[in-house]
Amino acid sequence: MKFAIIDDEKKATDLIETYITEFVTENHFEIQIRVFHNPVEFLESYTKDYDLVFLDVEMPGLNGIETAKELRHMDSNVVIMFITNMAQYAIHGYEVEAVDYVLKPLSYADFEMKVQKALRYIARNEDANVKLCTKDGMVHLAVSDIYYIEVRSHYLIYHTTREEYMVRGVMKETEEQFAKYHFARCSHGYLINLKYVQSVNGNIVTVAGEEITLSRSKKNNFMEAFARYIGGMQR
């Protein structure tokens, strides 16, 4: 895995780097760490192979919130964790889908707990692929590219970031197949990738700009699944 630390204070980056080293030693895996004291330098050199970015909120020039917004334009999957002196800044994390925030001064116990949470988010971002047998031939599709799956008669319609694919299939079996990838049924006819849920308002779920009805019979289970996803919990 690859982590980045962005903070204008060397004392802060040194402490986080020490904590990461201690964490990986205790948990027996390897992490590559890159440290930046200038957020512009980080953005200009950014490559989409980072798993976790620690980002100080209060920096001169381009602050952490602005940096996170720019980062999200480049990478929708990388896990972001803010570092801040004041908890009220954490509300801005929702705008950029930050996993959490760490309060200064950092304690190792708190840091360790937050990193464990971040690792759960990283694990759910690890991609998997499925093969779809369409009328036009076999399609290899990344699970993370699927917005939702819709059932029509004896066919399943895969709504994706690329296009729609129609295959013969049974929704119940597909639901079981995709459960480990954080998909949940919002009604008899729709299986949704929770990653793309933008809002739940009453009985309407907005997914990648589309409004889908949340049925009464599925609502409790769907909301529980969504809460677990938002909380970064494993199924």
Where residue 144 sits, what CATH number does that domain have? 2.40.50.1020
Structure tokens at 92: 């801005």
- Mean pLDDT for 177-196 is 92
Instruction: Assess whether 179 and 201 both reside in one domain.
Output: yes
Instruction: Please give the torsion angle defined by the CA atoms of residues 176, 182, 186 and 189, in that order, rounded to the nearest 10 degrees.
Output: -50
Domain finish residue from 104, 125, 146: 125
Instruction: Assess whether 98 and 148 both reside in one domain.
Output: no
Tens of pLDDT, residues 87-133? 666 566 666 778 888 888 889 999 999 999 888 878 766 667 888 98
The rounded mean pLDDT for the chain is 88
Instruction: Assess whether 102 and 30 both reside in one domain.
Output: yes
- Per the structure, the count of domains in the chain is 2
- At 217 the pLDDT is 95
Instruction: Assess whether 133 and 165 both reside in one domain.
Output: yes
Instruction: Assess whether 201 and 219 both reside in one domain.
Output: yes
Answer yes or no: pTM beyond 0.85: no
Interatomic CA distance for residues 155 and 153, integer angstroms? 6
Domain finish residue from 73, 108, 125: 125
Tens of pLDDT, residues 50-100? 989 999 998 999 999 899 999 988 887 789 999 988 766 656 666 677 888
* Nearby residues of 82 by Cβ (< 8 Å), 6 or more positions away: 55, 56, 57, 64, 68, 89, 90, 92, 93, 98, 100, 101, 102
Q: Specify whether the CB–CB gap between 215 and 186 falls below 8 A.
A: yes
Which CB contacts under 8 angstroms, 24+ apart, belong to 34-39?
34/2, 34/3, 34/4, 34/5, 35/4, 35/5, 36/4, 36/5, 36/6, 37/6, 37/7, 37/8, 37/9, 37/10, 37/13, 38/8, 39/6, 39/63, 39/64, 39/66, 39/67
Q: Specify whether the CB–CB gap between 160 and 147 falls below 8 A.
A: yes
Instruction: Assess whether 161 and 94 both reside in one domain.
Output: no
Tens of pLDDT, residues 34-47? 999 999 999 999 98
| 235 within a domain of the structure (yes/no) | no
How far, rounded to the nearest angstrom, does the alpha carbon of residue 225 sit from its chain's CA centroid?
Answer: 15
Domain hosting residue 61, numbered range: 2-125
| 87 within a domain of the structure (yes/no) | yes
Instruction: Assess whether 163 and 87 both reside in one domain.
Output: no
| 112 within a domain of the structure (yes/no) | yes
Query: Is the bond preceding 60 in cis, omega lying within 30 degrees of 0?
Result: no
Domain finish residue from 93, 125, 157: 125
